[in-house]
Amino acid sequence: MNDASRTQPIIECPFLQTEGTDGVDHLVRLAADVCKAPMAGLALVESGRVLWRSGVGMGGGESAFCLRALSQDAPLTIGNACEDAHFHDHPWVVGEPHVRAFIGAPLLALDGKPHGVLCIWDTHPRSFSESDIRAVAGLGRALTAHLDLLSHTAALESRLIRYGEDEALLQDQINWINNYGRDLEVRAARLEAINARLEALAKLDGMTGLKNHRAFQERLETEFQRAARYSMPLSLLLLDVDHFKSFNDSYGHLAGDEVLKALAQVLQESARGLDFVARYGGEEFVMILPHADHLGAIGIGERMRTGIEAAAWPNRPITASIGVATLTRGMERPSDLIAQADRALYASKANGRNLVTHAKNLVEE
């Protein structure tokens, strides 16, 4: 579809005045989470006007980016707005909120008419990955289906009111609603499956396939509260790849990425079934160890350290320094456990690397 066919998009939006549209806000928030972007919004377009339905991290509305994305059949991506011919002098680029990257997915009904645009902005230049583009396109389709459902529901309610006095027509409408209700259930189930998949993707590290930092923080909060409530042991293991920067400098970042992927697999294969393994950030990894006291945690840490050291690595041997901490009565927040593990990790690195150090031993020394 070309630009001319969308210069005056006309959309009937009776659902804007109805309840039950929380799903729209949820999908918009999910778009921001999946793309790890600070700003996202849903714009509905009517007669060339942009009407904002939902927004995350936005202080006000904007139309130029949205109308540009509306002219596309696939998501529009802009890696650096400062270098884009259309937007280099846009107020949002030269001033607050200093937009740099943008991805927008047009929302098209089955008949080709535009509902609007799902927009995501970032304040840093970036290249959107294929998974980002697929996720945004999928969310756009989910929003389109959701808006279609709301619109059709409003149309049905209007028909019921209009023909409420005609018993025969009312019965026909009831039959039609029953049939359509079954279709809505199928669509709702599909939307729920899409939402669940996107929620899972938002908590995965794209490179290693492990859980990401966000998922780790959520799980640690849960395990910390459970251990504190039921007086159960809980330990945390923080791991850092030794001399990783020099490895990247010598063999390149692609080779470094392969090391992180292989190390993640070693950790997964060596972990117990109840352990939680995640990428903490950069070359750091973290493991939550439920039901592990300080001796058990040291043993698990040594198993991880020796497993990494013994693995077959290309280019040169790889080792890791590990810091371990175990929950004590003096710890009030999950961040206390992280701080102790980080302190122990620093000691392992300071004492020659390729070591496992428990925070308890630092106190006793």
Decide which of 158, 175, 201 is a domain's last residue. Answer: 201
Radius of gyration of the chain, Cα coordinates, nearest whole angstrom: 26
Number of domains in the chain: 2
Q: Is residue 12 part of a domain?
A: yes
Task: Output the CA angle 339-319-261, nearest 5 degrees.
Answer: 85
Task: Assess whether 8 and 101 both reside in one domain.
Answer: yes
Q: What is the pLDDT of residues 117-152, one digit of tens each?
A: 888 889 999 988 888 888 888 888 888 777 777 777
Q: What is the pLDDT of residues 4-16, one digit of tens each?
A: 344 333 333 333 4
Decide which of 176, 201, 226 is a domain's last residue. Answer: 201
Task: Assess whether 94 and 135 both reside in one domain.
Answer: yes
- Which residue type occupies 64? A
Task: Assess whether 194 and 223 both reside in one domain.
Answer: no
Where in the sequence is the domain holding 89, given as residue range(s)? 3-201
**What's the pLDDT score for residue 41?**
86
Name which residue leads in pLDDT, 6 or 255: 255
Residue 87 in tokens: 């937007």
Task: Assess whether 232 and 194 both reside in one domain.
Answer: no
Annotated catalytic, 302?
A: no
The region of weakest confidence among 49-58, 222-231, 286-295 is: 49-58
Q: Any idea what DSSP says for residue 204?
A: B
Q: Any idea what DSSP says for residue 233?
A: -
% residues pLDDT > 70 (the chain): 85
- Tell me the CA distances in angstroms from 239 to 61, 179, 342, one per residue in order: 44, 56, 9
Task: Assess whether 142 and 237 both reside in one domain.
Answer: no
Residue of 19, 83, 283, 309 marked active site: 283
Task: Assess whether 234 and 313 both reside in one domain.
Answer: yes
**Residue 67 pLDDT class (50, 70, 90 cuts):** confident
Residue 251 in tokens: 């063999």
- pLDDT at residue 23 tops 70: yes
- pLDDT at residue 264 tops 90: yes
Is the pTM here over 0.75, yes or no? no
Q: Are the C-beta atoms of residues 354 and 261 closer than 8 Å to each other?
A: no
Task: Assess whether 93 and 47 both reside in one domain.
Answer: yes
Average model confidence (pLDDT) across the chain: 84
Give residue for tokens 């999950």.
334
Q: How many CB atoms lie within 10 A of CB 357?
A: 24
Task: Assess whether 225 and 302 both reside in one domain.
Answer: yes
Decide which of 146, 176, 201 is a domain's last residue. Answer: 201
What values do phi and psi take at 46, rounded to 5? -140, 120
Q: What is the pLDDT of residues 68-111, one digit of tens each?
A: 888 887 888 999 999 999 999 999 999 999 999 999 888 877 77
Q: Are the C-beta atoms of residues 41 and 97 closer than 8 Å to each other?
A: no
* CATH number where 145 lies: 3.30.450.40
**What's the pLDDT score for residue 344?**
97
- pLDDT at residue 241 tops 60: yes
